[in-house]
Structure 1
Amino acid sequence: MTFPDPSISRNAYELLIQEVADYAIYMLSPDGRVISWNPGAERIKGYTADEIIGEHFSRFYTEEDRAAGVPGNVLVTAATAGRFRAEAWRVRRDGSRFWAHVVVNPIRRDGELIGFAKITRDMTEQRQAQQAALESERRFRLLVQGVTDYAIFMLDLGGHVTNWNAGAERIKGYAASDIIGCHFSRFYTPEDLAAGVPVVALEKARREGRFEAEGWRLRKNGERFWASVVIDAVYDDGQLVGFAKITRDLTERRQAQLQLEQSREQLFQAQKMEAVGQLTGGLAHDFNNLLAGISGSLELLSARIAQGRYKDLERFVAVAQGAATRAAALTHRLLAFSRRQALDPCLTDVNHLIAGMEELVRRTVGPAVELRMDTADGLWSTWIDGNQLENALLNLCINARDAMPDGGRLTVTTANCQLDRQAAQVPDLPAGRYVVLSVSDTGTGMTPDVMARAFEPFYTTKPEGQGTGLGLSMVYGFVRQSGGQVRISSRPGQGTSICLYLPFHPGQADASETPTDHGKPPPSGAGRTVLVVDDETTVRLLVTEVLHDLGYTILEAGDSEGGLRLLQSDVSIDLLVTDVGLPGGMNGRQMADAARSVRPGLRVLFITGYAPNDDISRIQMEPGMHVLSKPFALEALTTQIASILSEERRP
């Protein structure tokens, strides 16, 4: 055996290392190879001297440490700093790990590094005791009985309660003797249990170390409360032993939040209905004109037929159909505008939206205001709620009309806008592409003070009773929520221009209506049976008449009770055509669901006008269900029915 330092007595050195069994004491060459080995090293690491001398000391390190280059860093640190000291996991000969306290000192002769002295002590038992003490202390801190605002308790690996603090008893209503040993899922609502929420929570805590959420939980008396929940995984010496769960009762905060959201919705709806109120006078006049055109055309048709004068009858039919189409368009726009609904962004063609709003805007602003639509060719698409954008546009046009009491010019403009970093600073937006919708008027304009407050809720310059001051604030909030910005440009006596910067979205919005193929013969319904359920006799008559002419076998009912009676009979039915709002104890959707329990896969076509309690947009459609809004062209009805019946029958 070679000793690097001859000044050390050979006998003294060997006596030292042979007597020390609690420490692994050995020498390393400058490149890290073992050159001596004591009994303590053999006892702690499991290698005999013959097995290890000449081998590199990195074999005592874990795979993770070797991959991270830790052994090399140890020698570099010892050589440069004069000592390396650390605690970490090391590996015995049999592959087991132990927690080691390590000291490495460089050995030099005449200033030249000739090796390293390495001392290792097995600290596994001490570390386990320390970890146990820390865990005991942590549990004590978590479960301190003085905490009453938080429910703090522990779960075993299966999710069963193992201890319980005073806060848990106060919040959840269970005494410790009632709940320890029970599964924590009893605190969850039936809906969450059905959805497997407790299982998901525990698995996420197991996988990621923590689960956090808010939701409804149950007290012992069945009462619900809104809870903030944190579940932490608890480890002992690297092994998962259970979970710590902290629950806080946030019911009061949740109720305040819901009340605020409800108040905001009520304010928004009030502002929307204010705008609807301003439409009603003009719309009543317009609808009377449209109805006059329809009724007059029908009277002339009846008179000409009675007189045997059949020439040019199609002209009166065209007049009546045109007036009916215009009335339907106005109805759909008004209902879509006034209906309560959540923000629902989608790929939107703003030019197409404006074109659909033009007649409504024109009738709203009145004949004294000249309306101009200046839309850009090749306008980009935007990702936004179209219904809310219609609301914003109509409100801006109403404000512009009110700013021009003696008449003037209102211009609606669209444009594509590319903002670089510097240009984007003015509208306070990120650089990028935007669709700009502008509404400009030649009215009274605004002073700088008025412009500064224009977006404030309830701020208005209109006389009392003529405005709530919600219009511009709602427009601003909606556009900002959608990722855009609103800018006002105005001078007293020179009019106002309000620009909406809407975020660009790649893709092409579908702005076209599906054209009607007038050259295609109507599909035959021979061999098919259709049940028509509608409480409106006129609608039922028209639908059954046109389907009968195409060869369909027709069954009909005027309410859900009669319809369900037929659906639960043995008669063959290929398609159910039903209104959504029906008398007879259930609506059309409920009747369809009841029918599908005995006729799985029954195909259904809902035909519906606006029904306040049965809005079809709020009903999740299932496979085989379709919808057609009233009023509809009879040709559109027959085409859709043929399309539905051509689908493969679902199992």
Structure 2
Amino acid sequence: MSPALSSLATSRHLRLQTLFQCGRRFRWMRAVRLRLPVTAVLLPTAILFAAASPHLLPPGYARLALPLLAIAATALIAELVVTLPWGRPVEAEAEEAPDAGPAGSDAVPIPNQADAAPALTELRYRAFFDHAEDSLCDIEITPDGRFLCLDINPHAEAVIGKTAASIRGQTPEQILGPEAGGRIAAALRRCVAQNGLRYEEIWQTVRGPRLTDTIMVPLRAPDAPSGPYARILCSIRDITDRRQLETQVAQGQRLQALGQLAGGIAHDFNNVLQAVEGAVSLIERRAGDAESVRRLARSVLDAAARGSSITRRLLTFTRGNELRSEAFGAAELVRGLREVLASTLEANIAVRIDLPEDLPLVQADKSLVETALVNLATNARDAMPRGGTLTLGAWAETVDDEAQAPPPLRPGAYVRFEVSDTGHGMDAATLAHATEPFFTTKPRGQGTGLGLSIARGFAEQSGGALAIASVRGQGTTISIWLPQARAAGGAARADGPEAAEPPAPADGRRVLVVDDDPLVCETVSETLQTAGYVALCAGDAEAALPMLRRTGEVDLLLTDFSMPGMNGVDLIKEAQRLNPGLPAIVMTGYAGDVEGLSSEATAHTRFVLLRKPVSARALFAQLATLLPEPAAPMR
């Protein structure tokens, strides 16, 4: 369509729309507003005569229709000449027309799309604002830097229990109080300084702690696009339920993966059981050979330690919070791993180490560091099916600039472990997803896709980070940063019986051991007796309470946590009610049992937590702390 015809069509549309609106109000003559008044009179009259004369008017009147139509057509042509592009368009006339009169005036303006757009935008904004399921608020920034509430939506009204009208013009501190309001005001200041802000925060509500996702967008005044910010629009969304659902889904995925890991776990446990069974069988046959018995007993203890490490790795996988941090030497750990890997990897893979002098101690869970490095070495082996070189290294490193470090590493002193291979490497697409859970490029059944994600999670839980560098066809280098240990004066001492000071005899102190597993109860009792304690054994709380009610019968209570009926913490609570100040120890194979208790449940209960398996040395050290006289070492 040509521009002229388009303009004409638009004009016609506007005129017909106006004519229709005015016709409904019976104000034809005023609404048409034609330049030639004769058109406004003759055209309707001619149409009326032409349409009505055959049926309603006498025959003589019908002859008047033709002249009237001719005159009206002439007037209409003149009107068209004026309204076509070479004349004065209707839109221009509408723009030049004076503003509409006051409310109640009969004037009906010709519709204008430019004028209607802001109103339509406002209607859309208001509909969104009023019906949004997030808490929305409009904040004004005063010239003196204060933040005043202009409006909040119904959802925000329901959350804070106040109406928009009642808080309009108030500061966050006036609305929410000094503590919560001060946090909001501080966030608003950060929003202005940073040109926008998004953050997550936990708020205490009537529904308990709720996690919120807050977005703040600063706006300038329309008449001052380069001036200071004048308003801030805020959106606050409660994401507690979504985050809990994500956690549940992740937990379900971990548990689902346990089926794939069951074979490896069973293999490790069978090795532990084989070592224990074989050593105990030899001790029974060589009871008279003291040196052999001591050596085999040490093998049993080592096997038990490996079994404990397996369970802790499993708990870390399923829950992600079972870490035992300790200071250990990075160089010794890497050298030990080299010996293990050199004897287990294929003969066509060379294992070398790169260690500097005077490497500092590391603060982390040693067994999990070993597990992570072994898993990375296994991945490196799989990347070199035709052989190559596997390099293990560790270096002291200080991070000064957080921006130059891999997230979420913060400035500080670290030890950086490195596992490098000369395998096929990864392309950019694979590298981008390498640490995602369940992502694997291995054939089905040969990988869970969890090794790198678990290693990354462990590193970040320990206060470090994990990073991957890889080039297709050249190999891969994976680095793990772990914090250095803040050792006070010298190297760490060996954690063995020889490093402990021999304590004095127990002198018959009475310890009540409560455990529903008869084997555990018997073993712990005999261990205590070898150190000079008098051990009393009970299978549950019901059997233990009569002994606790007799004054002076028990000097210390040593109980399991998970038992039928009353659990260990409740038993300690009752025992300390009967005997105020009674020392107590809780042993559990799963620290989450006790860590998951509410603070109210343990507010007035005093006990020490030991995680099974508990070594004799650790148990005696704890008894020496809780009882006036320390215990003697087990011979």
Distance in structure 2 (CA, Å) of the matches to 1:420 and 1:203: 36
2:265 alignment partner, one of 280, 283, 295: 280
2:382 alignment partner, one of 402, 406, 422: 402
Verify: 1:325 aligned to 2:301, yes or no.
yes
Report which stretch shifted further, 363-372 or 496-505: 363-372
1:439 alignment partner, one of 415, 419, 444: 419
Report which stretch shifted further, 528-537 or 446-455: 446-455
Distance in structure 1 (CA, Å) of the matches to 2:350 and 2:306: 20
Verify: 1:217 aligned to 2:220, yes or no.
no
Distance in structure 2 (CA, Å) of the matches to 1:345 and 1:553: 31
Q: Percent sequence identity over matched residues?
A: 27
The structure with the largest helix share of the pair is 2
- The SS at the match of 1:326 is helix
Cα distance change, pair 432–597 in 1 and its aligned pair in 2 (3 A): closer
Structure 2: gaps spanning 5 or more residues: 1-128, 138-150, 167-172, 188-200, 216-232, 631-635
Task: Please name the residue that 2:622 is paired with.
Answer: 640
Cα distance change, pair 363–593 in 1 and its aligned pair in 2 (3 A): farther
**Residues 319-367 of structure 1: per-residue CA shift (max 9 Å, x gap):** 3312212211211211221112339796754617936984997599567
- The SS at the match of 1:614 is helix
Structure 1: gaps spanning 5 or more residues: 1-145, 153-163, 181-197, 231-245, 303-309
Verify: 1:341 aligned to 2:320, yes or no.
yes
Deviation at 1:297, TM superposition (A): 1.4
Check the 8 A contact 2:538/2:544 in 1, yes or no: yes
Check the 8 A contact 2:418/2:480 in 1, yes or no: yes
Tell me the amino acid that sits aligned with residue 535 of structure 1.
Answer: D
Task: Please name the residue that 2:512 is paired with.
Answer: 531
Deviation at 1:532, TM superposition (A): 1.2
Report which stretch shifted further, 369-378 or 534-543: 369-378
Verify: 1:500 aligned to 2:475, yes or no.
no
Check the 8 A contact 1:168/1:174 in 2, yes or no: no
Cα distance change, pair 254–454 in 1 and its aligned pair in 2 (3 A): closer
Task: Please name the residue that 2:245 is paired with.
Answer: 259
Cα distance change, pair 228–432 in 1 and its aligned pair in 2 (3 A): closer
2:291 alignment partner, one of 315, 334, 337: 315
Report which stretch shifted further, 527-536 or 350-359: 350-359
Deviation at 1:283, TM superposition (A): 1.8
- The SS at the match of 2:416 is strand
Deviation at 1:625, TM superposition (A): 2.8
Distance in structure 1 (CA, Å) of the matches to 2:157 and 2:306: 58
- The SS at the match of 1:530 is strand
Structure having the higher Rg: 2
Distance in structure 2 (CA, Å) of the matches to 1:497 and 1:228: 36
Distance in structure 2 (CA, Å) of the matches to 1:427 and 1:202: 36
Check the 8 A contact 1:525/1:547 in 2, yes or no: no
Distance in structure 1 (CA, Å) of the matches to 2:623 and 2:409: 48
Distance in structure 1 (CA, Å) of the matches to 2:235 and 2:452: 39
Verify: 1:351 aligned to 2:330, yes or no.
yes
Deviation at 1:614, TM superposition (A): 2.6
Verify: 1:543 aligned to 2:531, yes or no.
no
Distance in structure 2 (CA, Å) of the matches to 1:409 and 1:167: 65
Q: For 1:266-305, what aligned pairs fall within 5 Å after superposition?
A: 266-267=252-253, 273=258, 276-277=261-262, 279-280=264-265, 282-284=267-269, 286-301=271-286
Check the 8 A contact 1:351/1:375 in 2, yes or no: no
Distance in structure 2 (CA, Å) of the matches to 1:364 and 1:629: 33
Task: Please name the residue that 1:455 is paired with.
Answer: 434
Deviation at 1:611, TM superposition (A): 3.5
**Residues 186-224 of structure 1: per-residue CA shift (max 9 Å, x gap):** xxxxxxxxxxxx9997343688895886435348xxx99
Distance in structure 1 (CA, Å) of the matches to 2:339 and 2:309: 8
Distance in structure 2 (CA, Å) of the matches to 1:490 and 1:537: 58
Distance in structure 2 (CA, Å) of the matches to 1:551 and 1:321: 21
1:171 alignment partner, one of 158, 167, 175: 158
Deviation at 1:476, TM superposition (A): 4.9
- The SS at the match of 2:177 is helix
**Residues 565-587 of structure 1: per-residue CA shift (max 9 Å, x gap):** 432444532101122332x3132
What is the TM-score of this pair, normalised by structure 1? Answer: 0.53
Distance in structure 2 (CA, Å) of the matches to 1:496 and 1:607: 44
**Once superposed, what is the RMSD of the aligned Cα atoms?**
5.5
Tell me the amino acid that sits aligned with residue 622 of structure 2.
Answer: Q
Cα distance change, pair 211–360 in 1 and its aligned pair in 2 (3 A): farther
Cα distance change, pair 205–461 in 1 and its aligned pair in 2 (3 A): closer
Check the 8 A contact 1:532/1:578 in 2, yes or no: yes
Distance in structure 2 (CA, Å) of the matches to 1:598 and 1:538: 28
Deviation at 1:373, TM superposition (A): 5.7
Distance in structure 1 (CA, Å) of the matches to 2:174 and 2:324: 33
Tell me the amino acid that sits aligned with residue 326 of structure 1.
Answer: D
Cα distance change, pair 404–342 in 1 and its aligned pair in 2 (3 A): same
Tell me the amino acid that sits aligned with residue 643 of structure 1.
Answer: T
Check the 8 A contact 2:130/2:153 in 1, yes or no: yes
Report which stretch shifted further, 590-599 or 499-508: 499-508
Distance in structure 1 (CA, Å) of the matches to 2:554 and 2:366: 38
Check the 8 A contact 1:455/1:476 in 2, yes or no: no
Tell me the amino acid that sits aligned with residue 268 of structure 2.
Answer: L
Cα distance change, pair 501–406 in 1 and its aligned pair in 2 (3 A): same
Tell me the amino acid that sits aligned with residue 154 of structure 2.
Answer: G
**Residues 430-489 of structure 1: per-residue CA shift (max 9 Å, x gap):** 9986522111346x4325457644626354321123224343355456657845451334
Check the 8 A contact 1:530/1:575 in 2, yes or no: yes
Distance in structure 2 (CA, Å) of the matches to 1:250 and 1:589: 39
The structure with the largest strand share of the pair is 1
- The SS at the match of 2:286 is helix
Distance in structure 2 (CA, Å) of the matches to 1:603 and 1:500: 42
Distance in structure 1 (CA, Å) of the matches to 2:371 and 2:384: 20
**Residues 275-302 of structure 1: per-residue CA shift (max 9 Å, x gap):** 8546336424522541343232133136
- The SS at the match of 1:576 is strand
